[in-house]
Amino acid sequence: MCNDFLVRHFFSKHFDQLGCHPMVVKPLSAEVFGRNICAGDYLHLISSRDNPVKLTTWQGKGLDGSIRIGNYCLLSPGTNIMSAAAIEIGDNCMFAAGSYISDSDWHGLYNRLRPFRCSKPIVLKDNVWIGHGARVGKGVTIGENSVVAAGAVVVKNVPDNVVVGGNPARVIKHLNPERRMLKRERMFQHSDSFHQTQRDLNRYLAGDNSTWGWVRSVLFPTRED
């Protein structure tokens, strides 16, 4: 109940648009800054104080960044998405811990005072999976169902249905487009049952919580908090 309150009255206020049924862990630790930030239905965002999720857009002096996240997407701890141009993320996309997406170099090679002519939009099509610690640079389009392996650095377009890895990233595996693929949206086909399970889990995890316990965790935090 407390977490739902924090999401509705604090976390959601940082979005131009936030779809229905967002599931946010540690919503006050997430850092959402700037205008033109939108997310679709069933956003699943897992943040923490020591590894926050960051969504940042920059405006002014020729910059007009935007971040648009589709339905059923997962953002794991440490996901960092920064835009000075435009970042479009399709449905069912997953971001593993520490993934970094930026549509700008933020400084030119010869003009290091501001991001002049060094920003290009990024597009992630539906069902893209960005692995742990992977990096996606400006101007890149990643095709549907494709996977970016852990630690990869993507600086060129990625076709549909492949796995890329390395620095710079290259195709290391082709996926079978004819094979049935289960996507995150499947978890929400019976959304009432799913959300009841989530509420039961939240109540279980908060079973020992109290007002004094919350005050103590703020003033005198311990490793278990």
Burial class (CB in 10 A: 0-12, 13-18, 19+), 202: middle
- Looking at 107, 174, 190, 195, which residue is catalytic? 107
Long-range contacts at 196-199 (CB < 8 A, ≥ 24 apart)? 198/23
Query: Do the beta carbons of residue 52 and residue 27 sit within 8 Å?
Result: no
- Token duo for residue 167: 């620095």
9 among known catalytic residues: no
Query: Do the beta carbons of residue 100 and residue 136 sit within 8 Å?
Result: yes
Active-site residue set: 107
